[in-house]
A and B are shown apart, each in its own frame.
Chain A
Amino acid sequence: MPDPMKIRANVVGDSTEVRVLMSHEMETGQRRDAQGKVIPAWFIQNVVVAHNGKPVLNAQWGPAIAKNPFLSFKFKGGAKGDKIEITWVDNRGEKRTDETVIA
């Protein structure tokens, strides 16, 4: 099981700012190990952020996203106590969902 995401969601004015730090290797598939064998690509492909069950951001990622990916964005609305749920799926089909409440 991959490590949990660190999610922060704060009300800023009339919007909610969401910042996420995920724990993922994000291997590019370009690197070689000590034996000269290519290390297979392993990266997050899809990220969905939902606010009270309604998607507010939908992302597709390639292996060029940095290791332990960071993501920040804002959406209109959102109140203290609302639920933010984030799910990622990587190219091995592994997935992780974490949730937090807006502070």
Chain B
Amino acid sequence: MQNMRRKVLKSGGAITVYALLVAAGWLKPGDAAAQAWNKNAFEAKSLDEAMKAFGGSPPAQSKDIAFVSTPDIAENGAVVPIGIASSIPKTESIAILVEKNPNMLAASFEIPPGTEPAIGTRVKMGQSSNVYALVKADGKYYVASKEIKVTLGGCGG
């Protein structure tokens, strides 16, 4: 093993090592794509900025997006359960944005056909704030919001 490693290093460069790892099946070439992470969207400070990063037009308010098992008052801002269900046909993605967090976007989920457009997770909230559920369906964006009061902040501290 030790010898093998020397050889790999000598035969040169990270590219060779990468190629070898791919060949050995330790790394899948698709991994680079799977790691795509929308940095601009996650650094957005406002809904407008986030929309720019997503490359979408301003979202329309929608009553077809529901918050499920989401509290009105969260005692602990470090763990706030959020459930979002969309009944808009052809829902492609669901994003969770917390208005008063340092960066608004908490998560974005791509929903392939066959997966129900409903997700549940837990987020951190720095303070009481509006939470937005941003849904992309058939290329258009829709949004719904809910105010959640936080008794104890979950950021900083």
Q: Do A and B bind each other?
A: yes
**Taking A45-B35, A64-B103, A67-B78 as contacts, is the C-beta distance between A58 and B109 under 8 angstroms?**
yes
B109 touches A57 (CB 8 A): yes
CB contact under 8 A between A69 and B122, given known A61-B106, A75-B114: yes
A-contacting residues, B22-80, CB 8 Å: 31, 34-38, 42, 78-80
Does B12 reach chain A (CB closer than 8 Å)? no
Q: Tell me, yes or no, whether B91 is within 8 Å of chain A by CB.
A: no
User: Chain A interface mostly helix, strand, loop or mixed?
Assistant: strand
**Does B155 lie at the interface of the complex (its beta carbon under 8 Å from any beta carbon of A)?**
yes
Interface contact A76-B121, CB-CB below 8 Å: no
| Contact residues of B between 78 and 92, Cβ < 8 Å to A | 78-81, 83
* Complex-state Cα separation, A15 to B118, whole angstroms: 12
B139 lies within 8 A of chain A by Cβ? no
B130 part of interface (Cβ distance < 8 Å): no
Closest to B42 in A: A62
- Which residues of chain A have C-beta atoms less than 8 A from B155's C-beta? 28, 30-31, 64
B157 on the A face (CB < 8 A):
yes
- How far apart are A95's CB and chain B's nearest CB, in angstroms? 8
Q: Taking the complex as formed, is A60 at the interface, i.e. its CB lies under 8 A from any CB of chain B?
A: yes
**Using Cβ atoms and an 8 Å threshold, which residues of chain A touch B106?**
61-62, 64-65
* A5-B116 Cα distance, complex, nearest whole Å: 22
CB <8 Å contact, B156 and A31: yes
Q: Is A101 an interface residue (CB 8 A)?
A: no
Chain B contact residue count (CB 8 A cutoff): 39
A73 to B119: give the CA distance in the assembly, Å.
5
Number of interchain pairs (Cβ within 8 Å): 111
The answer on a CB contact under 8 Å between B116 and A62 is no
Q: In the complex, what residues of B have CB within 8 A of residue A71's CB? A: 119-121
Q: Which of A39-75 contact B (CB under 8 A)?
A: 45-46, 48, 55-67, 69-75
In the complex, the answer to whether B154 meets A89 with C-beta atoms within 8 Å is: no
Using Cβ atoms and an 8 Å threshold, which residues of chain A touch B119? 57, 71-73
Contacts of A4 in B (CB 8 A): none
A65–B110 touching, CB < 8 Å:
no
Task: Give 18 pairs: A residue, B residue, CB < 8 Å, sorted on A.
Answer: A28-B155, A30-B156, A31-B155, A46-B34, A46-B35, A57-B110, A57-B115, A58-B109, A62-B103, A63-B103, A64-B103, A64-B107, A65-B123, A67-B124, A71-B121, A73-B115, A73-B119, A74-B116
Q: Give 6 A-B pairs besides A67-B79, A74-B118 with Cβ atoms closer than 8 angstroms.
A: A28-B102, A46-B37, A60-B38, A64-B105, A64-B107, A74-B115
